[in-house]
Amino acid sequence: MESNAYLKKLVEEFHSAAVATIGADGHPQTRVIDMMLWDERGVYFLTARGKEFYRQVMEQQFIAISATKDKAAVSLRGKVKHIGSEKLDEIFEKNVYMQEIYPGDTREALEVFCVYEADGEYFDISDPAHVVRDSFVVGKAKVKQTGYFVGQGCIGCKLCYSVCPQKCIDISGNPAVIDQNRCLHCGRCAEICPKQVIGRV
C-alpha cells in the first residue's frame, strides 16, 4: 500500500495511539493521543499548552507512535513540527467529540502538531499463517529496510526454511531469499545457519 493508505488507516481506523517522548528523567514516557487528521503533509494531533507532553514535543520535535486494532498495527517514528492553531477548526469538525471536551473558546488552550517526516511500519497478524509486514515513509524520510538477510556463503542446506515459522524463505536459489513482507524477525534462521551468513540489518 501507499504511505497515504497507512496514514488514513492510522487516523480513521486506529485513531488512538501510544505516543512516546523522553521524560525529564531521561527515560521514555508514553501516553495515548488521538490522531486527528492526515493529508499529504503527514499526521496531525493536538495537546494543551499546559501539559508536560506539549513541552516535550516542543523541545524534542521527535516522537514515536504505535497504534493497534484487530491484530494489526501501525508505527511511526519521526520529526514533528508545531503548527499552532492551523487545522484546529478542521480537527474539531471531523472529531466532534472534541467539542464536548473543549467547549466554546476553551479550545484556545490547544496547539496542533504535524508528524511530517517519519519512517513507518505496518504489521498485520490477523491471518496467523500469513503475516503481513510493510515499511513506508512520511515526507522526505527514507525507507529503512530492516530484517534478516542471507549473505554470500549460503550452502543451500535449507535449515533456515525448516525453522522459519512463516515459511517465508525462498530456498529455490542460492543464496536463499527471505521475504521481508512476511518475516517475523524472530531470528531462528540466523541461529541455525551452519555458516552464519544470515545477518540482521
Cell numbers for 79: 520529526
Q: Provide the pLDDT for residue 148.
A: 95
**20, pLDDT greater than 90:** yes
Q: Which domains does the chain have, with CATH numbers?
A: 3-138 (2.30.110.10), 148-200 (3.30.70.20)
Q: What is the 3-state secondary structure (H, E, C) of 68-86?
A: EECCEEEEEEEEEEEEECC
Cell numbers for 71: 491484530
Q: Provide the pLDDT for residue 127.
A: 95
Tell me the mean pLDDT in the region 102-110.
Answer: 95
Give dist(CA 82, CA 44) in Å, integer: 10
User: Position of cell 512476511?
Assistant: 182
Share of the chain above pLDDT 90, in %: 94
Would you call 152 helix, strand, or coil by DSSP? coil
Q: Provide the pLDDT for residue 143.
A: 73
**pTM (two decimals):** 0.88
Choose among 11, 85, 89: nearest CA to 43: 11
Residue 47: pLDDT band by 50, 70, 90 thresholds?
very high
